Amino acid sequence: MAITTLILAAAIGLQTPAPDARFELHRKFAAGEKLKYRIEANVVSEMRDYEVATYFPSSDGYEYNFSIDVKSVDEDGIAKLIYKRPTMVWITGENHLRDERRQVLKQNYNMELKVSPVNDILDFRDLNEDKKKPAKSQSDAFWMLAAPAPMQQQAIVTQFTNEIFRIALMLGSFDSNFDFAPKLPERKVKAGDTWKFTMGYAPQRLQNDKKKRTVNQRLDFTYKYDGVVQVEGKSYQRVTADLSLDSDAAEMIHQTYGLTTEQTGIKAIKLELKTKLTFDLDMKSLATVRGSAESIGSFRFDHTQVKGQAVEDGKLKGKVEMFLVK
């Protein structure tokens, strides 16, 4: 009896990995797999400038549906799939001046993508064969740095504040938006292991730098495999991620262009953002079943010509949700 029990225990042990055993947390695509998702996003913000003492609330967001149709999977687990997104609805929230506006943007995305088991987009082809116009350069706005009026410099500040709004809304190309999230690790992992993924770039102070220099550095999500969780009686593989930004873009501007506060008048461009991602993945295929992103952020532009208050400041709270429809 004891021997039989030992043999049975050994067999079970071979089938069920130990809790601390590492494994490949990789997406397992299957030819013929068809999935449909919905994404809903919203950012509520409050902003004011030096001419107004009151914060004015506003909100912006979007929603869209997309689908993937896996056509084939090669020996390395790389999927060739068709991605479709017909439209996006951009939502401008109600405020003291207007009612809510919903604008339907026809996108007609119909793309053939190659997607790796870690959810990286390796290649794509536009099946509509649309020729896209090159993006306009945004690198020539710094001619206004030495301009005396703080309002003229707000275009510069907007370049930095737009980035925290973009991240809060999880907007961007396929490698940084929600459609193919989360980004999974290349190496084997166990519960508690972490890895990084670059979401964008932002001014950040160099660590352990005696000169306290600030440069444009990678802004990374730190992902973590939390293990298996139970949600409404079902098991999922849970992956979470955190992003934190606390920087002063004014330092980078002055150091990059060899200018001083006395020359530009820019005292500070404070940027703060904290974002938390949560994903529940299918136990077998590791397809994303649901995902969410919650963000809290703020910004503040101080200038020598405006005493005792900010030229412009604001705060935001964002939420993005993704659902597997079927």
And the tokens for 292?
């969410």
pLDDT at 138: 34
Q: Is the pTM of this model over 0.85?
A: no
Tell me if 11 is assigned to some domain. no
Q: Residue 186: pLDDT above 60? A: yes
Tell me if 165 is assigned to some domain. yes
Tell me if 4 is assigned to some domain. no
As for how many domains the chain has, the answer is: 1
Tell me if 173 is assigned to some domain. yes
Encode pLDDT of 258-296 as tens digits: 888 898 888 998 999 999 999 999 999 999 999 999 999
Q: Residue 144: pLDDT above 50? A: no
Q: What is the mean pLDDT of residues 142-170?
A: 65
pLDDT at 147: 38
Tell me if 194 is assigned to some domain. yes
Other CB atoms within 10 A of residue 189 CB: 19
Indicate the range of 32-41, 83-92, 104-113, 198-207 predicted with least confidence.
198-207
pLDDT at 240: 98
More confident residue, 233 or 220: 233
Confidence of residue 5 (pLDDT cuts 50, 70, 90): very low
Nearby residues of 20 by Cβ (< 8 Å), 6 or more positions away: 190, 191
Q: Residue 202: pLDDT above 80? A: no
Encode pLDDT of 73-114 as tens digits: 999 999 999 999 999 999 998 777 778 899 999 999 999 999
Tell me if 1 is assigned to some domain. no
- The CATH number assigned to the domain holding 75 equals 2.30.230
Report in angstroms the alpha-carbon separations of 279 from 52, 149, 272, 291, 321: 41, 46, 24, 4, 10
Comparing CA positions, the residue from 157, 165, 167 lying closest to residue 253 is 157
pLDDT at 175: 67
Tell me if 258 is assigned to some domain. yes
Q: Residue 130: pLDDT above 60? A: no
Tell me if 7 is assigned to some domain. no
Nearby residues of 37 by Cβ (< 8 Å), 6 or more positions away: 65, 66, 67, 68, 179, 288, 322, 323, 324, 325
Confidence of residue 219 (pLDDT cuts 50, 70, 90): confident
pLDDT at 114: 96
As a whole number, the mean pLDDT across the chain is 83
Indicate the range of 10-14, 172-176, 277-281 predicted with least confidence.
10-14
Nearby residues of 134 by Cβ (< 8 Å), 6 or more positions away: none
pLDDT at 140: 35
Q: Residue 182: pLDDT above 70? A: yes
CA 326/CA 324 separation, integer angstroms: 6
Q: Which domain holds residue 81?
A: 19-132+140-324
pLDDT at 250: 85
Q: Residue 42: pLDDT above 90? A: yes
Most confident stretch, 135-139, 221-225, 304-308? 221-225
- Tell me the longest C-alpha to C-alpha distance in the chain: 90
In this structure, the chain runs to a length of 326
Other CB atoms within 10 A of residue 242 CB: 14
Indicate the range of 77-81, 169-173, 232-236 predicted with least confidence.
169-173
pLDDT at 52: 80
Encode pLDDT of 291-310 as tens digits: 999 999 999 999 998 888 89
